Amino acid sequence: MPLFGRSKSKLNPDRIQRALRSSEESQLPPSQVRANKRGLPRTDTWQRCSIVGDLGQRMDGVLLDYSQSGGRVRFRTHQSLPRTCTLKVPALGINHRVRTVWQSHGDAGLAFI
């Protein structure tokens, strides 16, 4: 008798390969999509970072990509960022004042000021 009332489904390798092929054909790599929308090239990364507000409040997140003009940060929870703050990414030597450009579902776009 299976645990939780359902039997384990059998994996079909052909079905998995078809699904993978169709998803590869329909999507551009994220780096190409971002490059078309912005003037400066972006570097993909996955570095721990923190946002420090003017009153000392600190929010930890992950820097997803960056360029000479700014970066994109992801947080575990949906947090409202201040209009201006400081982005700190010790692994990349970034300690810069930023302006919040956009926020959506735990992600935020930041511009260096």
What is the average pLDDT across 41-69? 95
Note the pLDDT of residue 78. 86
C-alpha neighbours within 13 Å on the C-beta side of residue 54:
5
Reading the block at residue 48, the tokens are 């721990």
Q: How do beta strands 107-112 and 70-74 pair?
A: antiparallel
- In one-letter notation, the amino acid at residue 85 is C
Q: Does residue 26 carry a pLDDT above 50?
A: no
Q: Which residue has the higher pLDDT, 5 or 18?
A: 18
Task: Give the global pTM.
Answer: 0.65
Note the pLDDT of residue 36. 44
Note the pLDDT of residue 7. 58
Q: Does residue 74 carry a pLDDT above 90?
A: yes
What is the average pLDDT across 50-73? 95
Q: Does residue 73 carry a pLDDT above 60?
A: yes
